[in-house]
Amino acid sequence: MVGHTPVLWISTPFSSSDRGFWAKLEGFNPGGMKDRPAMHMVERARARGELQPGARIIESTSGTFGLGLALAGTMYRHPVTLVTDPGMEPIIQRMLSAFGAYVDLVTEPHPAGGWQQARRDRVAELLSHDEHAWYPDQYNNPDNVDAYQPLALELNAQLGQVDMLVCSVGTGGHSAGIARVLRQFNPDMRLIGVDTIGSTIFGQPASSRLMRGLGSSIYPRNVDYAAFDEVHWVAPAEAVWACRTLAATHYASGGWSVGAVALVAGWAARNHPRGTTIAAVFPDGPQRYFDTVYNDDYCRQHGLLDRDPPSEPALIAHPGEHVVQSWTRCETVIDPMEVAG
């Protein structure tokens, strides 16, 4: 059930009709893209003896990885506890429970590290009470990156040589893992990272974020900073426009990360020669976003339906230049932890 997902050609209105990009539809996995790292990480931890038969898996997740862990827990017979926050959509909370996982909800954000840090603190607390429990740590575990080798090989078989890869960045796992393998076939392949405004990953200050899946309020070590040629920050209204336009014109759509990636991949297609093979990863499908991205009341309430996005992103020379509030790109990619020493 996991892997061998299809690719779909996306063209107008994201690009002119003679150009476009290939979307890798990871929503075709039973839980979404993160079924791949969840299965792989559990298999590796079992093989190394870090995860004992029947031991509990405890992880912090905003949803997709939780669905993958619930699948891996079912396959390999491990109880699963998923620490999440009130931003997790009710449909995902209920489905995770239905799939047999225990959902543990934190109620207050950490004053500096936001919901993500609050979730990680809660994971540490739960781990301290269960000496056999295993923590996958998707933000820092290199098995999260390695898990994407099959996806990269699928892309190579489906598209031939890939010239440009567009990926959203949360833990950094799929961008790092896919780029590493595809560059064995094409060392000149360009990698574009897509983040949300208000995310710290690429050196912007943390602020409250509407978009989930991509972005972070911490600095995940699985982000392969050196692998990126440029980064784009996208705002929620721009992602909503792209999600709804994808749905209306291509039937295939998804959530915040899909919209943001489609917006940027369409821009890349418009700005590179015809024949450039561009692959963009769509991490999930649209269903869980029926009450956010696809809900007019929710979108109006958050001012997300006011206008179409600009045809070009703004450009900054350095991530520290100023705080970005709308679609912006930057060709200087820095690791904020390294800069901070």
Residues that bind ligand PLP (CB under 6 A): 34, 64-65, 168-175, 213-214, 255, 257, 283-284
Buried b (16+ CB within 10 A) or exposed e, 224-250: bbebbebbbbbbbbbbbbbbbbbbeeb
Query: Measured from the CB atom, is 116 or 156 closer to ligand PLP?
Result: 116
- Report the nearest approach of ligand PLP to the CB of residue 129 (Å): 26
Q: How far apart are CA 66 and CA 87, in angstroms?
A: 14
- Report the nearest approach of ligand PLP to the CB of residue 18 (Å): 29
Token digits of residue 58: 């405890």
- Report the nearest approach of ligand PLP to the CB of residue 272 (Å): 23
- Report the nearest approach of ligand PLP to the CB of residue 175 (Å): 6
Query: Measured from the CB atom, is 5 or 175 closer to ligand PLP?
Result: 175
Query: Measured from the CB atom, is 19 or 202 closer to ligand PLP?
Result: 202
Amino acid at 98: A
Beta carbons of 39 and 46 less than 8 angstroms apart: no
Query: Measured from the CB atom, is 19 or 80 closer to ligand PLP?
Result: 80
- Report the nearest approach of ligand PLP to the CB of residue 231 (Å): 13
- Report the nearest approach of ligand PLP to the CB of residue 183 (Å): 17
- Report the nearest approach of ligand PLP to the CB of residue 253 (Å): 13
Helices (H), 271-335: 296-301
Q: What is the DSSP letter of 110?
A: B
Beta carbons of 246 and 253 less than 8 angstroms apart: yes
Task: Say what angle helices 256-270 and 236-250 make with each other, to 10 degrees.
Answer: 80
Query: Measured from the CB atom, is 60 or 81 closer to ligand PLP?
Result: 60
Query: Measured from the CB atom, is 171 or 328 closer to ligand PLP?
Result: 171
- State the burial class of residue 180 (Cβ atoms within 10 Å of its Cβ: 0-12, 13-18, 19+): middle
CA dihedral (67, 69, 71, 73) positive or negative = negative
- Report the nearest approach of ligand PLP to the CB of residue 172 (Å): 5
Q: How far apart are CA 259 and CA 237, in angstroms?
A: 10
- Residue 136: half-sphere exposure toward Cβ, Cα within 13 Å: 36
- Residue 177: half-sphere exposure toward Cβ, Cα within 13 Å: 30
Query: Measured from the CB atom, is 15 or 196 closer to ligand PLP?
Result: 196
Query: Measured from the CB atom, is 19 or 195 closer to ligand PLP?
Result: 195
- Report the nearest approach of ligand PLP to the CB of residue 180 (Å): 13
Query: Measured from the CB atom, is 39 or 169 closer to ligand PLP?
Result: 169
Q: How far apart are CA 32 and CA 71, in angstroms?
A: 11
ω into residue 13 within 30 of 0, thus cis? yes
* Bridge partner list, 278: 164
